């Protein structure tokens, strides 16, 4: 048996008492810790006796497993407790031994305790990391549940809204069929047109809600075919002609920058994206403003840019406008109307655009110097569309296709 083991063994009662005194503030605490301290010294002596840390490490592992649960990320740290025990142990050696013996014992003690402290601090770091990982996982699961109930709600609401809208539309048409004389009545026709445009807008919102569900469930289907981007941009620009006119705005398409050859994409979905981005550019730019569409070719992609000279976007908002229900600012302050200045919608347009572009294997993001309704810094939306000569995932991409035909 080593000198240290022998000394610890014959002084264990004194040591336990001294450590208990140091660690406890009252009698009740002393009664609680005495057993833990006594078994610690038993393991320490066993380890020193066999020159093997196993018994002590085992004891320390049990300490870490049994430590109190973390409160708001704060764990009960055990390393300081072990350091206190070491200090008491060293004090007792200095107190009870001759200096020469004390030096030998203290050197041996240092080695044993340092190893134990290292082991314990590694255990504690691992446990802390595991706790943090658990907390993160729980937060993520909660977020996923929230996201799921959001998209479940959207899907149910969209389906439930379809029937009453069809009813409204049907009854309106029935009234006109039953009373053809109303077609001569200006007031009645204005009412009818108002209703029809309301129903049309509601249908668009429902379509958006269903698209959100498809995107969230990763179920969006693309009907890829040779697609010419200048045709897409022209089609989208036609769809915004009337809001441009109403808002006295100009749309400049820099055709010469748009690649002439085709890519494989879903043209209907791309027009939908371009329409949403253009409508936003109109909505968030004051009357009389200008929107520019230009493109630049990058390796394997074309970057279609929609540039406006509107109110811009603050750096904080740039990162979350592509999320679901991402309407920025107080929705109640938005003016009504789909294309009115700041006529905010439900905040689904960019989420859908991102879903569609990502399903194509592309990317979409926005740039802006900030939000400023006076100086109008404007925003630029980048839509990165892959240039493909075969449908996505098709191994036969080497097949020469008819798409090298150029369209102007």
Compute the least distance from the CB of residue 171 to ligand ADP, in Å. 29
Q: Which two tokens stand for residue 80?
A: 């300081």
Helix (H, G, I), strand (E, B) or coil at 97: coil
Residue 176 CB partners (closer than 8 Å, separation 6+): 182, 183, 192
Compute the least distance from the CB of residue 302 to ligand ADP, in Å. 20
β-pairing verdict for 379-386 and 363-368? antiparallel
Torsion on CA atoms 355, 338, 343, 151, rounded to nearest 10 = -40
CB 305 within 8 A of CB 360: no
Torsion on CA atoms 302, 308, 313, 318, rounded to nearest 10 = -10
Please say which residue, 295 or 350, places its beta carbon nearer to ligand ADP.
350
Compute the least distance from the CB of residue 190 to ligand ADP, in Å. 27
Compute the least distance from the CB of residue 306 to ligand ADP, in Å. 8
CB 358 within 8 A of CB 408: no
Please say which residue, 88 or 281, places its beta carbon nearer to ligand ADP.
281
Residue 78 CB partners (closer than 8 Å, separation 6+): 60, 63, 64, 67, 120, 124
Q: Could you tell me where the beta strands, DSSP code E, fall in 68-117?
A: none
Please say which residue, 41 or 284, places its beta carbon nearer to ligand ADP.
284
For the beta carbon of residue 216, count every other beta carbon within 10 angstroms: 19
Compute the least distance from the CB of residue 353 to ligand ADP, in Å. 8
Please say which residue, 164 or 323, places its beta carbon nearer to ligand ADP.
323
Please say which residue, 123 or 244, places its beta carbon nearer to ligand ADP.
244
Please state, in angstroms and rounded to a whole number, the distance separating the CA atoms of residues 343 and 282.
10
Phi and psi dihedrals of 38, rounded to 5? -60, -45
Please say which residue, 124 or 308, places its beta carbon nearer to ligand ADP.
308
Compute the least distance from the CB of residue 280 to ligand ADP, in Å. 3
Q: Which residues bind ligand ADP (CB under 6 A)?
A: 280-281, 284, 308, 310-313, 321, 326-328, 344-351, 379
Compute the least distance from the CB of residue 36 to ligand ADP, in Å. 58
Residue 53 burial (CB < 10 Å; 0-12/13-18/19+)? middle
Q: N- to C-terminal Cα distance for the chain?
A: 95
Please say which residue, 243 or 344, places its beta carbon nearer to ligand ADP.
344
Please say which residue, 264 or 284, places its beta carbon nearer to ligand ADP.
284
Compute the least distance from the CB of residue 273 to ligand ADP, in Å. 11
């Amino acid at each position: 048996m080593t000198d240290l083991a022998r000394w610890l063994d014959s002084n264990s009662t004194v040591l336990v008492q001294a450590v208990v005194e140091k660690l406890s503030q009252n009698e009740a605490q002393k009664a609680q810790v005495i057993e833990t301290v006594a078994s610690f010294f038993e393991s320490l002596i066993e380890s020193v006796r066999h020159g093997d840390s196993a018994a002590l490490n085992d004891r320390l592992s049990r300490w870490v497993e049994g430590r109190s649960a973390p409160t708001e990320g704060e764990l009960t740290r055990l390393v300081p407790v072990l350091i206190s025990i070491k200090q008491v142990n060293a004090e007792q050696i200095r107190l009870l031994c001759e200096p020469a013996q004390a030096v030998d014992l203290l050197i041996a003690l240092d080695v044993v305790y340092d190893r134990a402290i290292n082991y314990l601090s590694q255990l504690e770091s691992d446990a802390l990391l595991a706790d943090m990982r658990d907390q993160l996982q729980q937060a993520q699961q909660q977020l996923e549940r929230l996201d799921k109930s959001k998209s479940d709600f959207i899907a149910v609401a969209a389906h439930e809204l379809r029937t009453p809208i069809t009813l409204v539309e049907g009854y309106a048409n029935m009234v006109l069929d039953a009373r053809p004389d109303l077609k001569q009545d200006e007031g009645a026709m204005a009412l009818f047109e108002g209703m029809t445009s309301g129903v049309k807008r509601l249908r668009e919102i429902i379509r958006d809600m269903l698209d959100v569900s498809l995107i969230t469930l990763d179920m969006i289907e693309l009907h890829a075919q040779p697609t010419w981007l200048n045709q897409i941009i022209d089609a989208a620009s036609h769809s915004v002609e009337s809001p441009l006119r109403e808002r006295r705005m100009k749309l400049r398409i820099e055709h010469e920058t748009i690649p002439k050859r085709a890519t494989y994409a879903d043209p209907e979905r791309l027009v939908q994206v371009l329409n949403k981005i253009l409508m936003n550019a109109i909505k968030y730019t004051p009357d009389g403003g200008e929107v520019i569409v230009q493109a630049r070719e990058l390796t394997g992609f074309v970057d279609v840019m929609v540039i406006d000279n509107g109110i811009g976007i603050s750096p904080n908002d740039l990162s979350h406008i592509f999320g679901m229900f991402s309407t920025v600012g107080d929705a109640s302050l938005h003016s009504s109307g789909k294309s009115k200045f700041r006529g905010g919608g439900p905040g689904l347009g960019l989420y859908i655009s991102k879903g569609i572009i990502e399903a194509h294997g592309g990317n979409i993001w926005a740039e802006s110097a900030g939000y400023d309704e006076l100086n109008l810094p404007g925003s630029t939306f980048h839509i990165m569309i892959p240039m493909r000569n075969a449908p996505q995932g098709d191994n036969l991409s080497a097949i020469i296709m008819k798409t090298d035909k150029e369209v102007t």
